[in-house]
Structure 1
Amino acid sequence: MRISRLFGCRHWPVVHRSIVHRSIVHRSVVQWLALLLGFALLAACSKLEDPTLHPAFDPANTSPPPPKPATAPSELRNAFFGDLHIHTSLSTDAFVMGVRAMPDDVYRFAKGHAIAHAAGYPIQIKRPLDFAAITDHAEYLGEARLANIDYPTTKKTMREILLEGNAFSITKDWLQTVLKFRKQGFGLTEPNKEILANSWQLTIDAAQRHNEPGVFTSFIGYEWSSYVGEIAVHIHRCVIYRDSKVSALPFSSLDSSRPEDLWKFLQRESDRGIKAFAIPHNANVSKGNMYARVDSNGKALTHVYAEARRRWEPISEILQIKGASETHPLLSAEDEFANFSLASMQPGDEPEGVYELQGSYMRDALRTGIEMQRSEGFNPFRFGVIGSTDSHNASSPTEESDYSGKLPIMDGSAGLRTNEATLLPKGINPANSWSSGGLAGIWAKENTRESLFDAMRRKETFATSGPRIMVRFFAGWDYDAALLSDAGFVAKAYAQGVSMGGQISNASKGSSPRFLVAALKDPIGANLDRVQIIKGWSGVDGQSHEKIYNVALSGNREVAADGSAQPVGNTVDLATASYSNSIGAAELSAFWQDPDFKPGQNAFYYARVLEIPTPRWSTYDAVKLGSEPMQPATIQERAITSAIWYSP
């Protein structure tokens, strides 16, 4: 956005994006403030009227949560949706960025109650979640809110910053906060074990209060927040406990910055009867470190490493606010949908080549795993997938039409996350590229801690980008197309094969694996465009390959001879941020047999379900603000299943 257009003023010099990208990482706060002085004379020209800040939160004037009856247990398993990655003001970065919400707020929001956003307006989810976990950063847990730290958000509330400020003052506060935190990190104070213990107990107590077996599951957890070289290069993990028997204190990166040591801690706790596992997330901003071919010491991976990783990290989070970690266009050039939710943490982070992306995405990791299975005899990267939000505002803001951001001073209002309320040149605020988050889908017998945890252990999980798309995915040797219309479809699919997260083997001569996939749209969401099966396999040369198969299409479309399919169309009206379900389908299913199967090759298969195009959160914001929508203006939300592996 041109600054001159923002103010309605003329002849203001434009700051070139590439110059800003090169400089922001290296400029000090003082230098940036000096730069902002040049904007001061224009500050009076711009004070955004942002309707997303109104009305102010009033607990006496909120809607009650919608009713949520208990879900009956089912041997055929129910689909449950939730968020296993939510922060409160107990996390240092959340507090610094303006959050004041506490653990009880997380569960109240997840159950459908209205809570106050950090910017002082009400936020409320349309439908309650089935489960949630508070995963505050273990490092300096709870200390920032009790310390006398000097940040703009400790001098004024977020609401005061946004309502009383103008473009200049808001930008100044933004830069002071973001750059100072980038320099200081989580260590704003000295570690305090008493505060850590008290804050951990607050987290445990809240989860215990809100756990309602059959209706709502509250997991106890935290985030181990290590990084490589710089704070924006994540190798974070969320630790989730199976029940109320938990560790005396969280294991943090202050104890060790090596994931191998986290796994050893989990092993020691398991020996004491405490059951937990870790969930890696944001591999997309790990710069190849999340799924690297070497360990934390740079040494080649071993069978012992592979076994430990597979045991303690059965699933990975691949869809969340800070972007998607399924794949990238530079890694999957033949994948026309690989450019979904590509996000960065700071200006200048755009990858220069494939080498900067390898080890940072799920599909690439699965390919590395089957390569190593062939060459080394073990696979360290055999994991399932989920989505979650990584919201730092005690909420799960997955609804595009009502998105409320992740870190309040960066994206807590429509004006902030679209740059309309600041003087920031395009590309400086990473929140511009963020998504609205994701959800974890779990197929479990019942909505209890134990049942959901065990389902995640067996990787019977899927990720969504926010909508509650339901998807079943099975593989076996004896399925046929008629099974899809059989009243006993699910029972027979389980009996004759394996579900997502499983493995098939022992192919008989001349046979090839058969797959069943069935997807159902979100009841209040968009129709479905297509279902795809993504295959990866290792060839005789030891290298892995991938191929995407369109197996079910909505409408009267047919798969072309080259495997491609025509686009479903686009009904989005950008002027009103609306769409129509006049295209697409409410449900799609397919029987598919791998036409390229070779029994001697290790392989994996997973399903991806795409919705028709719908407005992105930024388009809804643009309509509210009366501005031009940012790009991309539309997206295709999706669900991605855990893989099924084939081993010779």
Structure 2
Amino acid sequence: MPLNATTRSFVQLGVALCLGLTQAVAHVAATPPAAAQRTHAFFGELHVHTMNSPDAFMLNVRTTPDDAYRFARGEAIPHISGVTIQLRAPLDFIAITDHSEYMGILPRLFEPQGALAGLPIAARLADEDPERRQAAVLEVLMTLGENKPMPALVDQALRQSIWQEYVRSAERHYRPGEFSTLIGYEWTSSGALDEVNLHRNVIFRSNQVPAQPFSSFDSVEPRALWTWLDEQRALGIEGMAIAHNSNLSNGLMFPTDVAFGGAAIDADYAALRQRNEPLVEIAQIKGSSETHPLLSPNDEWAGFELLEDLLGGRGTLGKVQGSYVRDAWLSGLLMQAQQGYNPYRFGVIAASDSHNAGSQVEEDNYHGKIGSADGTPETRRGGSFINTHHIKYSSAGLAGVWATENTREALYDALARRETFGTSGPRISVRFFAGADWPADLLTRPDWVEQAYATGVAMGGELEQSSGAGPEFLLWAAKDPGSAWLQRVQIVKGWVEDGATRETVFDVGCADGLSPDPSTHRCPDNGATVSLETCEYDRHRGEGQIAVRWRDPGFDPEQPAFYYARVLENPTCRWSTWDSLRTGLPLPQDVPPTLQERAWTSPIWYRPSAVSDAPAPS
């Protein structure tokens, strides 16, 4: 039969391995915390894979969910390359998100006394003849690529048993108030879509979870996943979907006319999506999804860590329209203004998508994405069944959440109300509020955050009609204690004018006593440098904190708009430069030697009273 690109990729991988195989938001907690409840920035990871994901297991990863929890808590764990890996500081929370398709199945197929040992396919996988063993592996891989699972490998009782192991593991490592283990998985819709990534991570609020995950074997359509989440909610099980790698969706993640599967994008679609998908990953190892130079030609920072090759390792470039976050926010504004609904009022996080059970978010501590495919500096210069260039992977990222405490429920509620931000790896903290009639000395007061909550709107929220000079924005950012100094803070504005979308970037706070040029809205270069011989970065320029109040000079009370903050560090070495420094390999030519690590906040939306959402269908 003809093979789609994903199937071809799995087949190629199997051949290689067999030869050597041994303001509607998510339903819960849409309201902000009371002003008296202080929120704190918690940093974590909502996208990690272990040996229980088929692609990780096939590339010799043997670390478990328990290993991933230990890694997140700051312990060292083994890596396929033979070294141990460890974060410099523990995380506050984590979700293990192994692929729901064949979750935990491949390890069991190779257990001589395991539950699947009696299956004919298990015996063939253990065959001493390499050709027969190869044929058996290809048979399993074909079912993934064609989205037609083997019935014995998706037995309901077996799936439920494996899923309950995940729940028990999460319970063992949960330390309320200290370390949170959110229960989740990845719905991996791509096998029947010819290279297109429509993947979602599904996260639950508590240990009340479904009997088994909904997988792309059940449906490849996002609407089916959202409908399933609605059905679970009716049973008292609260969960949400988080889209990722929209940059690799070939324009299908954020459609404007017809949704995937052929349904019209209308008020029903918008309400269903908003109820169940409040967040998107803005960055991870497979690249940044904020924006693209073709979409934002006047944004000098639009080309950050781009990965444009679609899945499948064939070098096919995806469409930019409908594949990037800022473009979706703009499309949503236009739909809201013209049609009365907005399916794209979502916030952002970042994540790693590690398949090694350990997040690769530190540039000088990078260990690759997926097992033996890119586990060493040498293999990271090649390609695989995922894409053609491992060197273009990013060392990213982390989710930032403003929550009242470090518990599953408090973190989930903050995710649901979109009071979230993402970073490219460093633990940069950032707050962002909009409001009016604040005291002139607000940012100098010890209770400024409480006052901002009491009389304003935090990131992820919506600001109603404003008159006169318009809202004022409060933006505060603090550096990661273990990373470079901050260079500038920015506010990105998108709006609708004369029936068309517009965007602009404002530098609103500069380091080193500098000020934005009033005509260009840009900070002067602060002169920070980094040595390519030692990777020593400038420790004499930049700021530890930047706090500003800003008012939009072009505010029009009749124009719908969104505003989000972006925080940039001084330049530092990219992970690929660290690899070259340590090994003597030449600097790669197709990626920059340095980068500016950054953080992005969820937007604040401004809506004139004349523009309203259509009533959300029940």
TM bracket (short chain): 0.7 to 0.9
1:327 maps to which of 291, 297, 301: 291
Q: Once structures 1 and 2 are overlaid, which stretch shifts more, 461-470 or 90-99?
A: 90-99
Question: Could you tell me whether the CA contact under 8 Å between 1:465 and 1:638 is conserved in 2?
Answer: yes
Is the alpha carbon distance of 1:505 and 1:402 closer, same or farther for their aligned partners in structure 2, counting shifts above 3 Å? same
The alpha-carbon deviation at position 568 of structure 1 amounts to 3.2
The alpha-carbon deviation at position 415 of structure 1 amounts to 1.6
Question: Could you tell me whether the CA contact under 8 Å between 1:537 and 1:546 is conserved in 2?
Answer: yes
The alpha-carbon deviation at position 569 of structure 1 amounts to 3.0
Q: Which amino acid aligns with 1:107?
A: Y
Q: Which amino acid aligns with 1:342?
A: L
What is residue 110 of structure 1 aligned with on the other side? 72
Query: Separation in 2 of the partners of 1:364 and 1:228?
Result: 26
The alpha-carbon deviation at position 196 of structure 1 amounts to 1.8
Deviations 1:482-501 (A, max 9, x none): 21112221111111201000
The alpha-carbon deviation at position 384 of structure 1 amounts to 0.6
- Report the 3-state secondary structure (helix = DSSP H, G, I; strand = E; otherwise coil) of the residue aligned with 1:588: strand
Is the alpha carbon distance of 1:142 and 1:563 closer, same or farther for their aligned partners in structure 2, counting shifts above 3 Å? same
Q: Which amino acid aligns with 2:105?
A: E
What is residue 438 of structure 1 aligned with on the other side? 397
What is residue 514 of structure 1 aligned with on the other side? 472
Is the alpha carbon distance of 1:531 and 1:181 closer, same or farther for their aligned partners in structure 2, counting shifts above 3 Å? farther
What is residue 220 of structure 1 aligned with on the other side? 183
Question: Could you tell me whether the CA contact under 8 Å between 1:518 and 1:589 is conserved in 2?
Answer: yes
Deviations 1:574-623 (A, max 9, x none): 12222132221111111000110111111000000001110011111111
What is residue 41 of structure 2 aligned with on the other side? 79
Deviations 1:56-79 (A, max 9, x none): xxxxxxxxxxxxxxxxx9812000
Query: Separation in 1 of the partners of 2:392 and 2:574?
Result: 11
Is the alpha carbon distance of 1:557 and 1:183 closer, same or farther for their aligned partners in structure 2, counting shifts above 3 Å? farther
Question: Could you tell me whether the CA contact under 8 Å between 1:512 and 1:593 is conserved in 2?
Answer: yes
What is residue 634 of structure 1 aligned with on the other side? 594
- Report the 3-state secondary structure (helix = DSSP H, G, I; strand = E; otherwise coil) of the residue aligned with 2:505: strand
The alpha-carbon deviation at position 189 of structure 1 amounts to 4.8
Question: Could you tell me whether the CA contact under 8 Å between 1:90 and 1:199 is conserved in 2?
Answer: no
Is the alpha carbon distance of 1:253 and 1:184 closer, same or farther for their aligned partners in structure 2, counting shifts above 3 Å? closer
Q: Aligned pair 1:613/2:580, yes or no?
A: no
- Report the 3-state secondary structure (helix = DSSP H, G, I; strand = E; otherwise coil) of the residue aligned with 2:568: strand
Q: Aligned pair 1:527/2:490, yes or no?
A: no
The alpha-carbon deviation at position 414 of structure 1 amounts to 1.5
The alpha-carbon deviation at position 372 of structure 1 amounts to 0.1
Question: Could you tell me whether the CA contact under 8 Å between 2:434 and 2:472 is conserved in 1?
Answer: yes
Deviations 1:114-157 (A, max 9, x none): 1111222101111000000011111111112222589xx9999x
The alpha-carbon deviation at position 428 of structure 1 amounts to 6.9
The alpha-carbon deviation at position 263 of structure 1 amounts to 1.0
Query: Separation in 1 of the partners of 2:75 and 2:45?
Result: 16
- Report the 3-state secondary structure (helix = DSSP H, G, I; strand = E; otherwise coil) of the residue aligned with 1:208: helix
Deviations 1:503-544 (A, max 9, x none): 111213x2311100000000111100100000000112x211
Question: Could you tell me whether the CA contact under 8 Å between 1:110 and 1:129 is conserved in 2?
Answer: yes
The alpha-carbon deviation at position 27 of structure 1 amounts to 13
The alpha-carbon deviation at position 349 of structure 1 amounts to 2.7
Query: Separation in 2 of the partners of 1:505 and 1:414?
Result: 51
Question: Could you tell me whether the CA contact under 8 Å between 1:532 and 1:607 is conserved in 2?
Answer: yes
What is residue 306 of structure 1 aligned with on the other side? 270
- Report the 3-state secondary structure (helix = DSSP H, G, I; strand = E; otherwise coil) of the residue aligned with 1:414: coil
What is residue 546 of structure 1 aligned with on the other side? 503
- In the superposition, the TM-score normalised over structure 2's length comes to 0.85
- Report the 3-state secondary structure (helix = DSSP H, G, I; strand = E; otherwise coil) of the residue aligned with 2:441: helix
- Report the 3-state secondary structure (helix = DSSP H, G, I; strand = E; otherwise coil) of the residue aligned with 1:583: coil
Aligned ranges for residues 215-614 of structure 1 at < 5 Å?
Answer: 215-227=178-190, 230=193, 232-293=195-256, 294-343=258-307, 344=309, 345=311, 346-351=313-318, 356-419=319-382, 429-479=388-438, 482-508=441-467, 510-540=468-498, 542-560=499-517, 561-614=519-572
Is the alpha carbon distance of 1:183 and 1:582 closer, same or farther for their aligned partners in structure 2, counting shifts above 3 Å? farther
Is the alpha carbon distance of 1:188 and 1:116 closer, same or farther for their aligned partners in structure 2, counting shifts above 3 Å? farther
Query: Separation in 1 of the partners of 2:587 and 2:155?
Result: 46
Question: Could you tell me whether the CA contact under 8 Å between 1:477 and 1:511 is conserved in 2?
Answer: no
Is the alpha carbon distance of 1:183 and 1:575 closer, same or farther for their aligned partners in structure 2, counting shifts above 3 Å? farther
Question: Could you tell me whether the CA contact under 8 Å between 1:534 and 1:608 is conserved in 2?
Answer: yes
Q: Once structures 1 and 2 are overlaid, which stretch shifts more, 484-493 or 240-249?
A: 484-493
Query: Separation in 2 of the partners of 1:497 and 1:556?
Result: 28
RMSD: 2.8
Query: Separation in 1 of the partners of 2:226 and 2:41?
Result: 29
- Report the 3-state secondary structure (helix = DSSP H, G, I; strand = E; otherwise coil) of the residue aligned with 2:167: helix
The alpha-carbon deviation at position 231 of structure 1 amounts to 5.3
The alpha-carbon deviation at position 300 of structure 1 amounts to 2.6
Q: Percent of aligned pairs with the same residue?
A: 46
What is residue 13 of structure 1 aligned with on the other side? none
Q: Once structures 1 and 2 are overlaid, which stretch shifts more, 124-133 or 559-568?
A: 559-568
Question: Could you tell me whether the CA contact under 8 Å between 1:228 and 1:235 is conserved in 2?
Answer: no
Q: Once structures 1 and 2 are overlaid, which stretch shifts more, 614-623 or 221-230?
A: 221-230
Count the aligned residue pairs: 553
For structure 1, list consecutive stretches of 5 or more residues without a partner in the other structure: 1-21, 34-72, 157-176
Question: Could you tell me whether the CA contact under 8 Å between 1:103 and 1:202 is conserved in 2?
Answer: no
Question: Could you tell me whether the CA contact under 8 Å between 1:141 and 1:195 is conserved in 2?
Answer: no
Query: Separation in 1 of the partners of 2:65 and 2:425?
Result: 22
Deviations 1:341-397 (A, max 9, x none): 10134343335xxxx211111100000000000110011000010011110111111
Q: Which amino acid aligns with 1:400?
A: E
Question: Could you tell me whether the CA contact under 8 Å between 1:446 and 1:452 is conserved in 2?
Answer: yes
- Report the 3-state secondary structure (helix = DSSP H, G, I; strand = E; otherwise coil) of the residue aligned with 2:378: helix
Question: Could you tell me whether the CA contact under 8 Å between 1:415 and 1:625 is conserved in 2?
Answer: no
- Report the 3-state secondary structure (helix = DSSP H, G, I; strand = E; otherwise coil) of the residue aligned with 1:564: coil
Query: Separation in 2 of the partners of 1:29 and 1:621?
Result: 28
Is the alpha carbon distance of 1:645 and 1:130 closer, same or farther for their aligned partners in structure 2, counting shifts above 3 Å? same
Deviations 1:290-310 (A, max 9, x none): 111122233331111111111
- Report the 3-state secondary structure (helix = DSSP H, G, I; strand = E; otherwise coil) of the residue aligned with 1:492: helix
What is residue 10 of structure 1 aligned with on the other side? none
Is the alpha carbon distance of 1:202 and 1:78 closer, same or farther for their aligned partners in structure 2, counting shifts above 3 Å? same
Deviations 1:208-227 (A, max 9, x none): 00000010000110111112
The alpha-carbon deviation at position 481 of structure 1 amounts to 5.0
Is the alpha carbon distance of 1:154 and 1:208 closer, same or farther for their aligned partners in structure 2, counting shifts above 3 Å? farther
Is the alpha carbon distance of 1:90 and 1:257 closer, same or farther for their aligned partners in structure 2, counting shifts above 3 Å? same
Q: Which amino acid aligns with 1:506?
A: Q
Q: Which amino acid aligns with 2:271?
A: E
Question: Could you tell me whether the CA contact under 8 Å between 1:144 and 1:189 is conserved in 2?
Answer: no
Question: Could you tell me whether the CA contact under 8 Å between 1:475 and 1:516 is conserved in 2?
Answer: yes
Question: Could you tell me whether the CA contact under 8 Å between 2:144 and 2:191 is conserved in 1?
Answer: no
The alpha-carbon deviation at position 480 of structure 1 amounts to 5.3
The alpha-carbon deviation at position 570 of structure 1 amounts to 4.0
Question: Could you tell me whether the CA contact under 8 Å between 1:410 and 1:429 is conserved in 2?
Answer: no
Deviations 1:611-642 (A, max 9, x none): 11100111111111111122311011000000
Question: Could you tell me whether the CA contact under 8 Å between 1:552 and 1:588 is conserved in 2?
Answer: yes
Q: Aligned pair 1:645/2:609, yes or no?
A: no
